[in-house]
Structure 1
Amino acid sequence: MLSAVWTNLIPMIKLYMLGFKVLLVQLFSRRFKLPVMPRQDGKVAIVTGGARGIGFEVVRHMARLGAHVIIGGRNEEEGLAAVRKIREEHKEAEVEFIKLDLASLQSIRQFVQRFREQDLQLNILVNNAGVMLVPEGRTEDGFEQHFGVNYLGHFLLTWLLLDILKTSGKWGHFSRVVNVSSSAHRIGEIRLNDLNSNQCYSAHAAYCQSKLAQLLFSSHLHQELQRGGFPLSSCAVDPGIVDTALYRHLWMPLLLAHNVIAHLLFRTPSEGAATVLYSALSPELEGENGGGFWANGHREMTTPLTFEPQLQLSLWQASLQLLGLQ
């Protein structure tokens, strides 16, 4: 019993200490302002979780630049409302909603099928949707929710769209996969023998594991694409601590504090979207300059664990097996 308490308490303490450190850095750092990005006419983008928060700001900005943007989300009413709002602001905006529940492998496959039926190219995939510190539970297919939604769902989505992303890219105009992660990856551990947290559940540990898994996936994918010579890059982004609904499952005392200080210390969704947009659109990140891990408008070094080839490969192979992929 005591062991289980410590298993839950230690990751929680580590995550909240990291959060406090990140808030201090944000407080004393100049916030990245997105430079003017080139027009995106003719390009097609998919943004998961694009109906609110950071994702909505990403969709809105891309649509304003002329891209055809598809919002993937599980709440149809919310998604259609986001589409209407963007079209009201920009009457010529090409934006649409397709239902996507990342907690359901069937829903992911149906989303990809509906997208394929439109016979569109795909230049940008922003894997943005996610859950944080949710109570213990399983996805439709039996995966732990953080691992299943934040990581495995996006793994499958990317895998099923890879052929379109590859053929849509051109030399000098690479397609891009942008994985929205978190500084929480720095204290994450990959438990290859217990990826679904069956042995002992900690929401904090599970969340951090899912964010580290995203970085390992992003890095391994980028290397595979480079080795294959494809005009497609993959990078990961930390948007910082942003004032969104993601924090509604915080420990209660911190949740009450969050409601008081968020507007003072947290970044706005627009500010959080800035580095995501930079990674997805900037000509400076073309070709060999793509990839890596980005935060506050700059490429950053991350933990040595992220670059461990054997861990990347082991997680990749385990993911393929869990998803029933070749």
Structure 2
Amino acid sequence: MSFLALVIPLLKVYYVGLKVLLYQLFNESFTLPAFPKQNGRVAIVTGGVKGIGFETARHLARLGMHVIIAGHIDSEGQEAVKRIKAEYPHDKVEFEHLDLTSLNSVCQFVKSFKNRGLPLHVLVNNAAVMLVPQRRTKDGFEEHIGLNYLGHFLLTSLLLDTLKTSGSADSCSRVVTVSSATHYVGSLNLEDLQSSCCYSPYGAYAQSKLALVMFTYHLQQQLLTDGSHVTANVVDPGVVNTDLYQHISWPAKLCKWIVAWFLFRTPEQGASTSIYAAVAPDLEGTGGCYLYNGQKVKSADITYDEQLQHQLYHQSCDLVRIAERSR
């Protein structure tokens, strides 16, 4: 493995991170407006046990949604439910086991959810790992692409029929996917999504976040073609002080500890754009957007390449072993 293959992705990711931190230094965090109650609506939030996901689940529950927190550590999930109920006793919030590193677990989660006969109005694809050492999921995928992207790709695909039947012309169901500014420096290697050659945790993370943006745009186009009452948007939470940084180097951890208190967003601030995308009335019927700090912004040029979007979709279907939807 060449030295440059390791260093260049690292420098790119830290360059993007520095740009975002400078923006956050000189710009106020997006403040959520008051939203109408969401009584009777159902939401699933992956990775909702802590950080951005927890704050997203907490706010949606406060708005009256029936929130299902999906995660792979049951004790943390029950604790998250307890914390929300302690603050809002009448909220309907629960935890269900979901391991996004296992295709079988994703299928079992969807089967269990559908057996309950519940509608689904909001799916928040929030769970993620970042900068983990090279390792594989239960199905043999590189972990960033497996958990961050393919797990959510399969989950969304299997829940799409429920989302469609739950949406209506005046109240669309919504798919909200959390990406990252690192997608701007990501490269999509369709011949080696697994990052098996010249593995870099920085490059693998950026690629997984790039794939999420491209999947969202392709999904939105499919939904428009179908005339479905479902929208798909992707959000960028900024640089947020969460547990995602546990795998960074000790020097980087020291720098983070020094600057996090005045440059990083809090998890609540980081969740604001996800919540906005999930319930904002002014986004009703609007999809295919990249949202940052509560605003629509332009994503990386490569994300708008429709041919590459379709190639990624085709390969993703093969990897998770589902049939492609007709175009």
Q: Normalising by structure 1, what TM-score?
A: 0.98
Where does residue 174 of structure 1 map in the other structure?
172
Distance in 1 (alpha carbons) for counterparts of 2:95 and 2:31:
28
Where does residue 124 of structure 1 map in the other structure?
122
Q: Normalising by structure 2, what TM-score?
A: 0.98
Q: 42-51 or 111-120, which moves further after superposition?
A: 111-120
Deviation, 1:172, is: 1.1
Matching of residue 312 in structure 1 with residue 309 in structure 2: yes
* Mapping for residues 187-226 of structure 1, pairs under 5 Å: 187-226=185-224
Distance in 1 (alpha carbons) for counterparts of 2:304 and 2:249:
32
* Mapping for residues 107-146 of structure 1, pairs under 5 Å: 107-146=105-144
Distance in 2 (alpha carbons) for counterparts of 1:281 and 1:185:
25
Where does residue 58 of structure 2 map in the other structure?
60
Distance in 2 (alpha carbons) for counterparts of 1:103 and 1:68:
25
Q: Deviations over 1:112-160 (max 9, x none)?
A: 1111121100000000000000000000000000000000000000011
Distance in 2 (alpha carbons) for counterparts of 1:248 and 1:47:
22
2:77 is paired with a residue whose SS is helix
Distance in 2 (alpha carbons) for counterparts of 1:113 and 1:249:
33
Matching of residue 297 in structure 1 with residue 261 in structure 2: no
Where does residue 34 of structure 1 map in the other structure?
32
Where does residue 270 of structure 2 map in the other structure?
272
Q: 11-20 or 253-262, which moves further after superposition?
A: 253-262
* Mapping for residues 248-287 of structure 1, pairs under 5 Å: 248-287=246-285
Letter in 2 for 1:15: V
2:231 is paired with a residue whose SS is strand
Deviation, 1:243, is: 0.5
Where does residue 324 of structure 1 map in the other structure?
321
- 2:242 maps to which of 241, 244, 255: 244
Distance in 2 (alpha carbons) for counterparts of 1:14 and 1:276:
25
Q: Deviations over 1:152-186 (max 9, x none)?
A: 00000001100000000000100000000000000
Q: Deviations over 1:231-279 (max 9, x none)?
A: 0000000000000000111232111111222111100000001111000
Letter in 1 for 2:240: V
Deviation, 1:191, is: 0.2
Deviation, 1:208, is: 0.3
Alignment gaps of 5+ in structure 2: none
Distance in 1 (alpha carbons) for counterparts of 2:30 and 2:24:
10
Where does residue 153 of structure 1 map in the other structure?
151
Distance in 2 (alpha carbons) for counterparts of 1:323 and 1:274:
31
| Alignment RMSD (CA, Å) | 0.7
Distance in 2 (alpha carbons) for counterparts of 1:250 and 1:55:
21
Deviation, 1:291, is: 2.8
Runs of 4+ in 1 over 2 A off after TM superposition: none
1:236 is paired with a residue whose SS is strand
Q: Deviations over 1:188-229 (max 9, x none)?
A: 000010000112211000000000000000000001101110
Distance in 1 (alpha carbons) for counterparts of 2:261 and 2:118:
40
Distance in 2 (alpha carbons) for counterparts of 1:101 and 1:27:
36
Letter in 2 for 1:127: N
1:314 is paired with a residue whose SS is helix
Distance in 2 (alpha carbons) for counterparts of 1:270 and 1:18:
22
Distance in 2 (alpha carbons) for counterparts of 1:248 and 1:55:
17
Deviation, 1:290, is: 3.0
